[in-house]
Structure 1
């Protein structure tokens, strides 16, 4: 019901259209379309690896094949969120947490669970994170089954195999879960999952090699601190140290560390329970992996999987601990338990409240830029924030940031990317206009480019409120002016195009 309300309000604010809260979702949709055409990337005949997930573009390609458009990733994400809630409720009921709890505690836990996995807001990003949360929680449920002497189900094995394929961060929990299954005497299940993971990763590596692409996608190579250390010639140790410091000062990192300490403390109480210690160790390994190497936020999505994992693991450990506690002590634990879970879930409550505004914000900026490129200008363009401009655009789109354009990515990582390279690439692809955030290019733009307009939009989840429109030497000035003048009156409320007199 909450998600339905969120969806209806978001569509209403976005001019009656389904628009995701982040432009990144449309990168995957563009890649999915190229997969269906036999390619991989955002431009026909040009290979690139902008997707942050191995398997997500292929799943979306299936929905694109039946012309679902944005509804495809939304349906997958919403179904994954619903399945995650069901999995958690069954897990907590099965471990006896609800047996001695009053109806108020059960209700509070149910509501908190909805938000701690960001079931209301996360699906509206249109990205793979809801599926990642499902795979994470389902993998944990498989470990809980193994702790009771049962082999993980087929679905739980599938979830474990999918972890590193959905998000590279999932590799930490996948490795820890495989080790835990071995220690819990489920070696056959561990061997099967390990073989499937290895086969999938080898197939992906072979595919990327055949296309002449790096093993890691551009989003990882251009954004991850650990990878940045390699091309900035700093040590891996300093990259990990920087991430640890970030985890200590970041509100999401602080929440994760608190949940990790709660897991560790409860495991200490259960130090005579070998199975509980093994599972707690696996969870803490995943938490440690994210603290050392992971990222946070960007509209409440990067860390939600590990927050959900730590929270569910803690509840499971508390359920194992309760029979060993005096009834009054067990009851007294309810308040701090709910307080910590509520504290961890609060950012995702805020995300749910902000989602309709974020959807409208993407509609106000990137959706309008996409309209301009496809319906008004209709020639090759350049951008620095790839997504809606590239999705279903028959014309070439040059990504000046590097996610969707390999020459840009290579030049940036080599340390020789600036106005000259931008001008050369634009000329190579007959790019007539560039729509960029000026502040993303501290070295400036090519001297041959002329700023002809500025799109002014509100600021919620877009990276900047103003988008500068540049005309390159390959464009016809009269045609650009006509396109801008025809485009300006079609903009939604609170959005303005300032056409400069040049």
Structure 2
């Protein structure tokens, strides 16, 4: 048999599996993700605790949706969720009594799906050849894991992992359209999910619609109703009481100053350069131009930070688009030029993914930080004090709490939000709300209330913790006129000795 014939001979099933880059990358991710999860559980004394307090807001909302309400308290409506559809997905997992494992399982599945979709797109584009280009396959597989933050992001417990998957899958639909093929139902599901899972997804969804129009109109394929895609930052500008133009300028300036925003701009510039050899390939140009539009939209409207989660969808998209463009440029460049372009693109993609490596390494410690502060506050409120409380960092305290939880920051309280918007929020409003809801204990960060707290509130203790993703390490306990001081003192007395070793409860002199 000739060498050519031998190359084309079908591989044994086991050999074919081990040459599947997406499968091997998924297995590598599973090992890394399991390691991070196990260390997180160990550091949290055997409990599954997310690296942020925010996912517990969504779980609380899901529980109240099941009982006919919407918000973090059964007695009032509020809109603390950052996603349209995420709380409703958690309604299903809560109905199955999965608790925190519900969002974890959804996110893990989304992260695995993202890696597979990412690498299949690049396989189709011709970038990956496990026979002749093993080193490149290894680096690209690692980039698929790291640029999508597939290790740390699922353990935030938030909806971002699904958002990243929907972004990558929608990009896959665009690449199929560029090849003259109809996107699959999965691609359309992802497109619909984009603005529903995160409001930021509207930008890429609208850009993708434009791309579909440009490439698919001749195919007569139906497009989704625009009503599900027209979600934008108009609500945010209305909340701030400013025009739309000012926030755009502010965000652009912030993008230049923020290291992550700067990296995103570098990716955008690199993608624009990679498009030059593709100027005769209309389909690939439309795909890349759509991604450039999404990058520009995030620079103008998007946010950064909060444990590397707000911008990860567009970073993963930009990395994928850059590698896709390089793959398509292969036949239009000389071998040395293409090799140089590939090395530069992979190196740049690795550079912009550094933050997500840091997030993966910090994940177990971030979970421990939430356990040592927010979980302990929840335990105090629900197991020891057992009465209405006020907080400024909503999440674990509200989830599964049968008593009223007053959010003094406004995320879970429409009255607080409106008072802050009208610039009339201060100690008087805080006292009135606490009295109305019979709140006996407030557990807050003092620095979040520059106007101070009500004069009738008495500082009784401070919980000292070591935060990672938490905003502050010190949580101050106040009792209000509605409290029975003896009940609070008894609860605090029982609370102190049961805290984790790194925590310290400092009691104030009475």
TM over 0.5: yes
Matched ranges for 1:250-261 at <5 A? 250-261=258-269
Matched ranges for 1:8-47 at <5 A? 8-47=38-77
Residue in 1 that maps onto 2:381: 373
User: Any conservation in 2 of the 1:146–1:186 contact (CA below 8 Å)?
Assistant: no
Deviation at 1:228, TM superposition (A): 5.9
| 1:342-391 residue CA offsets vs partner (Å, 9 max, x unmatched) | 10111000000000000000000000000000000000000000000000
Deviation at 1:227, TM superposition (A): 5.4
1:160 aligns with 2:191: yes
Matched ranges for 1:219-258 at <5 A? 229-230=237-238, 233-258=241-266
Residue in 1 that maps onto 2:205: 174
User: Any conservation in 2 of the 1:182–1:190 contact (CA below 8 Å)?
Assistant: no
1:440 aligns with 2:448: yes
SS in 1 for 2:171: helix
User: Any conservation in 2 of the 1:133–1:304 contact (CA below 8 Å)?
Assistant: yes
Select the residue among 87, 106, 118 that pairs with 2:117: 87
Q: Describe the shift of the 1:397–1:138 C-alpha distance in structure 2 as closer, same or farther (beyond 3 A).
A: same
1:431 aligns with 2:472: no
Which structure's CA Rg is the greater one?
Answer: 2
Matched ranges for 1:125-204 at <5 A? 125-186=156-217, 191-193=222-224, 195=225, 198=227
1:385 aligns with 2:393: yes
SS in 1 for 2:353: helix
1:407 aligns with 2:415: yes
Residue in 1 that maps onto 2:325: 317
Mapped to 2, the partners of 1:65 and 1:376 lie a distance apart of 27
Matched ranges for 1:278-357 at <5 A? 278-357=286-365
User: Any conservation in 2 of the 1:152–1:189 contact (CA below 8 Å)?
Assistant: no
Moved more, 320-329 or 482-491: 320-329
Q: Describe the shift of the 1:115–1:69 C-alpha distance in structure 2 as closer, same or farther (beyond 3 A).
A: same
1:73 aligns with 2:103: yes
TM (normalized to structure 2)? 0.91
Q: Describe the shift of the 1:254–1:496 C-alpha distance in structure 2 as closer, same or farther (beyond 3 A).
A: same
Deviation at 1:334, TM superposition (A): 3.0
SS in 1 for 2:505: strand
Residue in 1 that maps onto 2:500: 492
Moved more, 349-358 or 100-109: 100-109
Select the residue among 89, 108, 111 that pairs with 1:59: 89
Gaps of 5+ in 2: 1-30
Deviation at 1:265, TM superposition (A): 1.0
User: Any conservation in 1 of the 2:192–2:229 contact (CA below 8 Å)?
Assistant: no
The count of corresponding residues between Structure 1 and Structure 2 is 479
Mapped to 2, the partners of 1:408 and 1:21 lie a distance apart of 26
Q: Describe the shift of the 1:45–1:101 C-alpha distance in structure 2 as closer, same or farther (beyond 3 A).
A: farther
Gaps of 5+ in 1: 203-214, 217-223
SS in 2 for 1:184: helix
User: Any conservation in 2 of the 1:456–1:495 contact (CA below 8 Å)?
Assistant: yes
Deviation at 1:269, TM superposition (A): 2.2
TM (normalized to structure 1)? 0.93
